[in-house]
Structure 1
Amino acid sequence: MNIKRIVMAGGVLATAGAIGFVMQHGESAQARYAVAPVADISGTPSDPLEVTGIELTSAVAGKTSKITSNVDAKNMDAKVAPEETKEEPAIRTAALDDVALPSMEEPAQPELQSLCNIEMAAEAAAAAMVDVSLKANCYPNERVTFHHNGMMFTHATDAAGNLDLSIPALSENAVIIVAFANGEGALANTKVPSLEFYDRMVVQSKAKSQLHINAFEFGADYRDEGHVNADSKRSVSDAANGVGGFVTALGNYEQGEALVAEVYTFPTGTSKTMGDVHVSVDANVTVANCGLRIEAQTLEVSRAGKMKVQDLTLPIPSCDAVGDFLVLGNLIQDLKVARN
């Protein structure tokens, strides 16, 4: 394998300290990733979406919660006509012996309602996952951003305004928030007690950064059975049965300036195999990110313990290196799996 080591003095910043870099080229990189060409989605970064006006209508785990509209009918700057001070003239009718008819009152106007009925439900699932169901019938094919315990990713509803996802929980009291571009959104929560049996590592950034997690379980090398990434056949059931870990890819790359995340889950508390698990983060060099300085973040949750957060700034090589990739070998701490 043709490997070129890159020494970067002060080029990469991370709270973990020094990060090991290996740059791999040409056929080896192509064989390893074998992904479709990535469209250039560079542009002016968008600010994080701000969720406002959230009203949690049910605190029971797994129940549907909804949000009211940002528009508050009671506080709108509507112009109110001044009160009339003149007395209303009586209406005289000769046929009724000059009896005055009662004055006519204008019917009350209904209050302004929410622009859309957004509903969201969350339910704990196997391997400390959370099954999320979003229903927003007036937001078909609409961009939406998910927020969960520091993790953010961008997705889109379908033609009916619905979206179903399975999200790795990062806290036992899992709170999931969604926000549309106009500030409307929803919130749901559920308890995930099984998180105490799992370790999780997250890398998140913009889609053009092309960052990916690779785990090498118990001495595995590239393409071995124990090499686990987003393209592996590993699933939730493997982790639930203590066989090994799996990677969940979150986010829709087709959304411009999309936020994406990859999450590696390992069943530390129930693993049938003991030993070390090495985890690395790789950066593909593409036409969308070559020559740029990208920003990313890693999140690590150890068996429902305190989360470890690291911010990363990484200079990507020039466009002459398109097709190669960088390996950040020491960014995420290796797992030590021992018999319980």
Structure 2
Amino acid sequence: MKVKDFYFDLPKELIAQHPMEKRDESRLMVVNKTNKEIEHKHFKNIIEYLNPGDCLVLNDTRVLPARLLGVKEGTGGKMEFLLLKRIDINHWETLVKPGKKAKIGTTFIFGNGELKADVISVSEGGSRIVKFDFDGIFEEILDKLGEMPLPPYITEKLQDKERYQTVFSREVGSAAAPTAGLHFTEDLLEQIKDKGVKIAFVTLHVGLGTFRPVKAEIVEEHEMHSEHYMLNKETARVINEAKLNGGRIIAVGTTSNRTLESIADEDGKVCEKSGWTDIFIYPGYKFKIVDALITNFHLPESTLIMLVSAFADRNLVMSAYETAVKEKYRFFSFGDAMFLY
């Protein structure tokens, strides 16, 4: 299968640069996999397509304000740090820009000196291991000094950090938001519960690999990045009960989908589990547990559109994307949503 099979022409003006004023006022394309019908709604209408006994599975990861802007001690040269992975209480793996200025032994200062970073080593991929020096609680300092690591296709500054967080985010650790969840409000979630739909939370910390382009020409040759996930005992119970009683398992976003499909056994049951997954879902994959999917509109030739094309027929998905362009849906992280069932 060729990567170019997942290409579509996307006008730049359809890439959403900011979130909607109201989360659930974004548009919703509803795609029926069986009869291939497409409906155009607003996200708050999602409740019309959910049935009592269904289980909505949300990713409760919370995005780190992981972009730090600092200066080199002594020279004042500007440097951008992006936190990738925490090694221990003081040490982090980071991406730096411009990299040539971040030599081993150099020190960088952030804010008014509340935070300092010493470059300890350079990894094989070019990232830096740095040791942070600070007084107090690192997360509080980061919340004050850090910025949201918005995707490269968003060029406008985000005015409210919380708009790049879901209203149910709680487990800090992501480099990017699980964007399908951004459309939910607390009120909408309450309405969904009142209808008799079960709500379950998994955690998958989204890595920056989600933004890396697929460089291989053949889909099967792409090497998928790894991301950390967690699913607790109570969540497993809720999901398994819903499945046993005939309810649908509805994944909110590709991250929830990947988590569920990584954990589920061949009978579609899940258990308490945590670990790393590099599952790569593309057409031909047989889904074990997910019955319906809520997702945003993704980049051409991305692993995300491949996953969606695995869940529904590729031709149907590509046709739906052509319709989305024609109808001027908003694309990517702050864009509109699609419900496939």
Give the alignment's TM-score, normalised by structure 1.
0.28
Q: Quick check: which one's helix share is greater?
A: 2
